[in-house]
Amino acid sequence: MHLPFWLTTALLSPLLLYQGKRARRTTPRLPEGSGNPCGQYGEGAPARRILVLGESTAASVGVVTHDQGLASQLARQIHQRTGQTTAWHTFGINGIRMQALIAELDKTQLPAADNVLLSMGVNDTTGFTSRSRFCDQLLALRQLLAVRYPAPLILLSVPPMHLFTALPSPLRQIMGWRARQLDAVYARLAHEKPKDFVHLEYPLVTEPGLLAADGYHPGRSGYQQIAEALASSRTDLFR
């Protein structure tokens, strides 16, 4: 247990509950992206296949169609940088937590992929999933995926929620504090189990022009910026 965090949260709980309810009531709830959740850039059989799993960002919330979202934008970047035909597929559910995602994936037929990226953590942050449970769930997810996807699972860091200006203060700071704790679980697992996990920093997207109408999710330009940063940060993963 991280005692300073829980003591602070307990002391502020009346205000945090009020702010959380108000934020849910006043923040526009955007739909998931529509259209085909897969595609490719280039002709012929793909040389590289990208699969993105997770919550709202994997569900392309913030843009109209999936081909404007993270998986498609990342595949485009890889294709442009390498010249390789690159296929993409995305599977996401807005509002989902890690345990529920595992249950969904256990009954879902997923495509072949060379790189699997996990975009999770915001809903487990707001839901106060314990760090030990979050770690156990990540290990369970890796075990579920490992047979079909032997390459390390790429963990996109939990977004820096303390910079989400759509959230009021002090709720924003508390959520940011919790997000950093869960992201530390990612970093520790990647350090201890490098054959199973890779930890990639989630690029910061806070400029109004990069955000969707809710001021919370990336818009089309935001997803493009994230994809560019990911593709350039670890070129060894995507070549």
Tens of pLDDT, residue by residue over 167-180, are: 899 999 999 999 99
- Nearest C-alpha neighbor of 200 from the set 172, 178, 175, 232: 232
- What pLDDT is stored for residue 1 in this prediction? 57
Asked if residues 231 and 74 have their Cβ atoms less than 8 Å apart, the reply is: yes
Question: What is the model's pLDDT at position 75?
Answer: 97
Beta-carbon neighbour count of residue 143 at 10 Å?
11
pLDDT for residue 122: 95
| pLDDT for position 209 | 86
Give the pLDDT confidence of 58-85 residue by residue, as tens digits.
999 999 999 999 999 999 999 999 999 9
pLDDT at residue 218, as a whole number: 93
At residue 170, the pLDDT reads 95
Is there a contact between 174 and 198 (Cβ–Cβ < 8 Å)?
no
Q: What is the pTM of this model?
A: 0.94
Q: Which residues pair with 65 in a beta bridge?
A: 34
Confidence at residue 229, expressed as pLDDT on a 0 to 100 scale? 92
DSSP one-letter code for 168: P
CATH code for residues 3-28+38-233: 3.40.50.1110
For the chain, which ranges sit under pLDDT 70?
1
